[in-house]
Amino acid sequence: MHVIDPGDNRGTLYIVATPIGNLDDLSPRAVKVLSDVAVIAAEDTRHSGRLLQYLGISKPLIALHDHNERGRVQNIVDQLLSGADVALISDAGTPLISDPGYVLVREVKAQGLRVSPIPGPCALVAALSAAGLPTDRFLFAGFLPAKRTGRRTALEDLCKEVATLVFYESPHRILNTVADIADVMGAQREIVLGREITKTFETFYSGEAAEVHAALTEDPHGNRGEFVVMVRGAEKAETGLMAGALDVDRLLNLLIAELPVKKSAKIAAELTGLSKNELYQRALGLKDS
């Protein structure tokens, strides 16, 4: 356990949120911290260099991204131990939210050093606030798998989740992702897409999954920009439907006596609300025994 002494004269690692589009969203506190620290660790030094130039800030930059983070951690820790303050920024939004920084923050905290958040823009929070979907409980799952099989498996595993689901998605995969949501979770499942949030062409698409897919297809800009994908959670009445009333193993035994294991697991998942993958493994065990 580590408790930071307020009088500790070692450096502080500041986690600084930066704009996701509109530069006016950068807080005065963030500008002050970036002006005062000794060094800035940035996901892309060229990209962040343009932001700092706009702000009139000149600071040493350290590149810290997914491919080099582990190798850069000790250098940053050494600077903090020497008393220098360091700021961590990502290309846009709040660091560590589907961006690098986890390894660094874990090590800095393990060393008993101070980590201080400078809150600000975050695409998922901004999108949720304007989506009109329930926000009392939500599950952020980052980016879905790029390949269709992995993406559909991930969606199947989340199909019965009652919390609002939030994903990030790239423009070249957005149509396929929405199509898979409609296919796996149902064409009537309510979804909201936030595109280019805080930017000039900010757009929200809302409706049933099939309707949103059609709107994207018709929009000439529908596959441009960065997307936040939000999916209304399953109704509580749908989750675990009949699971308590059915002997799941008996149901699977009846199904696999007549059908292939994969088909049996799919039908059982629809009837019980349990995970198809879990039921598939269970069915295999029953078949083998």
169 in a structural domain: yes
pLDDT given for residue 214 in this prediction? 96
Judge residue 204's burial from the number of C-beta atoms within 10 Å of its C-beta, 0-12 exposed, 13-18 middle, 19 or more buried: middle
Q: Residue 201, Cα to own-chain centre: how many angstroms?
A: 22
Round to whole Å and give the CA distance between 100 and 8: 27
Q: How many domains does the chain have?
A: 3
Dihedral (C-alpha) 142, 146, 90, 193: value to the nearest 10 degrees? Answer: -60
Q: What is the mean pLDDT of residues 111-123?
A: 97
Q: Which domain holds residue 106?
A: 12-120
Same domain as 231, residue 210: yes
193 in a structural domain: yes
The CATH number for 186's domain is 3.30.950.10
The 10s digit of each residue's pLDDT in 198-232 is 999 999 999 999 999 999 999 998 889 999 999 99
The 10s digit of each residue's pLDDT in 1-57 is 565 666 688 999 999 999 999 999 999 999 999 999 999 999 999 999 999 999 999
176 in a structural domain: yes
User: What's this model's pTM, rounded to 2 decimal places?
Assistant: 0.80
6 in a structural domain: no
The 10s digit of each residue's pLDDT in 226-253 is 999 999 999 875 444 444 545 788 888 8
The 10s digit of each residue's pLDDT in 252-287 is 888 888 899 889 888 888 887 777 887 888 888 888
Which helix (H) or strand (E) is 215 found in, with range? helix 209-218
Same domain as 173, residue 214: yes
4 in a structural domain: no
The CATH number for 25's domain is 3.40.1010.10
Same domain as 245, residue 231: no
How many CB atoms lie under 10 A from the CB of residue 256?
Answer: 18
Same domain as 258, residue 227: no
Q: Which of 221, 236, 251 marks a domain boundary?
A: 236
The 10s digit of each residue's pLDDT in 43-82 is 999 999 999 999 999 999 999 999 999 999 999 999 999 9
Same domain as 202, residue 110: no
